[in-house]
Amino acid sequence: MLHSLTVSNIVLIERLTLSFEGGLTVLTGETGAGKSILLDSLGLALGSRADFRLIREGADAAHVTAVFHLDASHPVWGRLAEADIPPDEELILRRRLKADGKSSASINDVPVSAALLRDVGDTLVEIQGQFEGRGLLDTSTHITLLDRAAGHDDVLEKLKSGWENWLQAQRNLARAKQDLEKARAEEEWLRDAVEQLDLLAPGTGEEAELSAERERLANVGRIGESLGVADDAIFGETGAQSTIGRALAALEKAVPFAGGILDEAKSALERADAELSEAGAAISGAGHALENDPGRLQVVDDRLHELRQQARKHDCEPDGLVDVHARLAANLAGIEDSAGALAGLADNERQWRDYYRKIAAVVAANRLRAAQALDAAVGTELPPLKLDGATFVTAISDLPAEQFGPLGTQQVRFEASTNKGMKAGPIDRIASGGELARFLLALKVALEGDETGRTLIFDEVDSGVGGAVAAAVGERLARLGQTTQTLVVTHSPQVAAKGDQHMKIAKTATDSGVISGTEPLDDSARTEEIARMLAGEEITAEARAAALALREG
């Protein structure tokens, strides 16, 4: 509910603070007193386009603040949570226009964009009349109004969920197809690479082993020569083993007479003789190994070349080929398995599409029934509002598939004909401002019991009507005020008499120029204002009596 509005330096308004209550509030005043300025000011706080011509002449800046008291369950809090603005006891919308052409906006003192301010404003207030793109002029609200009439919020939730899941399934399928196309473009290279690595079968540490073996095989002549020298040094006529043998034989002759002092020397020579025998065997074995496979060097060279060539191809070290082999093999297996995975994603996408279309069909049937009932209900409200030759039609049409969305597969647009025999057309093009306001009034009355949490504001709703028609307008506004905070700017005494709260807007000449002011009226002042509206400048006793009769009627 709109609790208060503070305006400063907007055209004729120097400084003004108004407090509002529930029910029906009427705003009256002579033509040019500033009623439209007041609504323009509220529109700024609700995110309307910044019009810097509204800044009061001589002022540096204009300010508007609108304060709302809302339940914690009001839908606006969910929208604000997305902007990291937490719920509070009050919702304060501020707008500032500066003479240098700059503007700023805030919600609960958090700076926000004008777009967010407008989104929030549209959630809080529904304005019908002079405001471009709002009320019935905003065709995007037509489908929402029809859905309220249908009362199928539970089905709409399923529809929204179905749409989101279908959309995600479409994304998953498209991404998988894209990945598969990319993989298949590389499949031939991948298959060839895996086959080559299969044949190569690289091992970890293999390059180091082969390099050492190649070094040995490349120097086989030098090694053989060294082995020959070593063998002669051990086993030759003057070699170490022959020399040790002679020393051992000499000691053995002296041992019996030495009393044990030669035992250690004899044991050491025996060990040396045994070690020389082992060394000889190793030298002999190494020599035989060099002679076993004379073609081994070529085999090792070829293997090393292939390992290093594959490492360069895959941009890794030779020891990394084992991991590369495993990864490429897994990628190839993934391509081969992707057909099954793709089929599963396609089936999931198809299931969500069918679910969405099924729920959309239920929503469409509900909307058709609601549209027929709504058209009939609005139709009964039109004649008393001086729209007896008018018709109201809820036009529902199917959207192309690319425009499907969380609200379904249809678009809804209210159409009207204001004269008998005239073909119905878009209501925002057919009806004038006053007629639009009365169409909205009829629509809101037909949707009585609809709880949106919005404040309703009507401007020019009584334009061009009077007498019984104006009384009918007032009665319907009063009915709306019983369930919804409703504000109306009116020139009609019949409408003014139905208000729960009455505010008068008037111009006053001051030293600083003409200013516009607004004041709430008590009972006697209300009667006097309604009498003025009936009689003009000179208020007669008859006018006062008629004003009382209207208020009591």
- Tens-digit pLDDT profile for residues 401-433: 999 999 999 999 999 888 887 888 888 777 676
* pLDDT reading at 15 higher than 80: yes
Q: Is residue 180 part of a domain?
A: no
Q: How far apart are CA 496 and CA 523, in angstroms?
A: 12
80, amino acid identity: L
- Of the chain, the percentage scoring pLDDT greater than 70 comes to 91
Name, of 121-125, 215-219, 345-349, 454-458, the range with top average pLDDT.
Answer: 345-349
Element (H, E) at 6: strand 2-10
Distance in angstroms (rounded) separating the CA atoms of residues 147 and 158? 14
The answer to whether the CB of 76 falls within 8 A of the CB of 70 is: yes
Averaged pLDDT, 38-46: 89
Name the average pLDDT for the chain: 85
Tokens linked to 211: 């390099």
Asked if residue 279 is part of any domain, the answer here is yes
> Is 18 or 449 the better-scoring residue by pLDDT?
18
133: region left, alpha or beta (phi > 0 left; psi from -120 to 50 alpha): left
- Residues facing 4 on adjacent strands: 19, 67
In the predicted model, is pLDDT for residue 135 greater than 70? no
Task: List, in order, residues 6 or more apart from 76 with CB less than 8 Å away.
Answer: 70, 91, 120, 123, 124, 453
Q: What is the pLDDT of residue 110?
A: 92
Residues 418, 383 contacting (CB under 8 angstroms): no
pLDDT higher at 467 or 359:
359
**How large is the average pLDDT for residues 137-161?**
90
Model pLDDT, residue 289 = 66
Integer CA distances (angstroms), 222 to 138, 213, 295, 455, in order: 98, 15, 17, 104
Task: Name the pLDDT band for 266 (thresholds 50, 70, 90).
Answer: confident
Looking at the predicted structure, is the pLDDT value of residue 32 above 70? no
Mean of pLDDT values over 78-88: 87
Determine the pLDDT at residue 511. Answer: 59
Distance CA 99, CA 61 (A): 6
Weakest-pLDDT range from 124-128, 305-309, 505-509: 505-509
In a domain, residue 196? The reply is yes
As a whole number of angstroms, the distance between CA 191 and CA 199 comes to 12
- State phi, psi for 184 to the nearest 5 degrees: -70, -30
Q: What is the pLDDT of residue 469?
A: 84
What's the one-letter identity of residue 219?
A: N
Q: Which of 144-158, 278-292, 301-315, 532-546 has the lowest mean pLDDT?
A: 278-292
Q: Indicate the DSSP class of residue 410.
A: E
Residue 117 banded pLDDT, cuts 50, 70, 90: very high
User: For residue 516, what pLDDT band results from cuts at 50, 70 and 90?
Assistant: low
Which residue would you say has higher pLDDT here, 130 or 155? 155
Q: Is residue 235 part of a domain?
A: yes
Mean pLDDT along residues 165-190: 86
Task: Quote the pLDDT of residue 210.
Answer: 87
If one compares 39 and 154, the residue with the highest pLDDT of the two is 154
Give the chain's domain count: 1
Query: Domain span at residue 242?
Result: 187-334
> Could you tell me what percent of the chain has a pLDDT over 90?
35
According to the model, what pLDDT value does residue 451 have?
55
- In the predicted structure, residue 78 carries a pLDDT above the cut 60: yes
Task: Give mean pLDDT, residues 9-30.
Answer: 88
- The pair of structure tokens assigned to 164 is 């989101």
Residue 231 lies in a domain: yes
Distance of CA 350 to the CA centre of its chain: 24
For residue 247, is it within any domain?
A: yes
pLDDT the model gives residue 33: 62
Q: Which residues contact 194 (CB under 8 A, 6 or more apart)?
A: 325, 328, 329, 332
pLDDT at 393: 93
Residue 152 resides in a domain: no
Q: Is residue 167 part of a domain?
A: no
Q: How far is CA 444 from CA 61, 82, 139, 478, 502, in A?
A: 37, 30, 16, 12, 22
Residue bearing the bigger pLDDT, 213 or 107? 107
Using the CB atoms, write b or e for 374-390: b if 16+ within 10 Å.
bbebbbebbebbbbeeb
Q: Does residue 162 surpass a pLDDT of 90?
A: yes
Position 362 scores a pLDDT of: 97
Q: How confident is the model at residue 291 (pLDDT cuts 50, 70, 90)?
A: low
What per-residue string of b and e applies to 424-457 under the rule 16 or more CB within 10 Å gives b? Answer: bbbbbebbebbbbbbbbbbbbbbbeeeebbbbbb
Question: What pLDDT, on a 0 to 100 scale, did the predictor assign at position 267?
Answer: 87
CB 217 within 8 A of CB 289: no
Q: Which residue has the higher pLDDT, 336 or 302?
A: 302
pLDDT of 512 over the 70 cut: no
Higher pLDDT, 387 or 2: 2
Query: pLDDT-derived band of residue 294, with 50, 70 and 90 as boundaries?
Result: low
Give residue 215's pLDDT.
77
pLDDT at 552: 82
Query: With the CA atoms of 28, 34, 37 and 39 taken in that order, what torsion angle do they form, in degrees rounded to the nearest 10?
Result: -10
> How crowded is the C-beta side of 474, counted as CA atoms within 13 Å?
23
Pair 505, 496: CB distance under 8 Å: no
CB 352 within 8 A of CB 374: no
Tell me the chain's radius of gyration from C-alpha atoms.
48
Residue in this structure with the two tokens 């090393």, named with its chain if needed: 304
Q: Rounded mean pLDDT of 137-154?
A: 87
The mean pLDDT value for 221-250 works out to 76
Q: According to the model, what pLDDT value does residue 48 have?
A: 87
Residue 150: Cβ within 10 Å count: 20
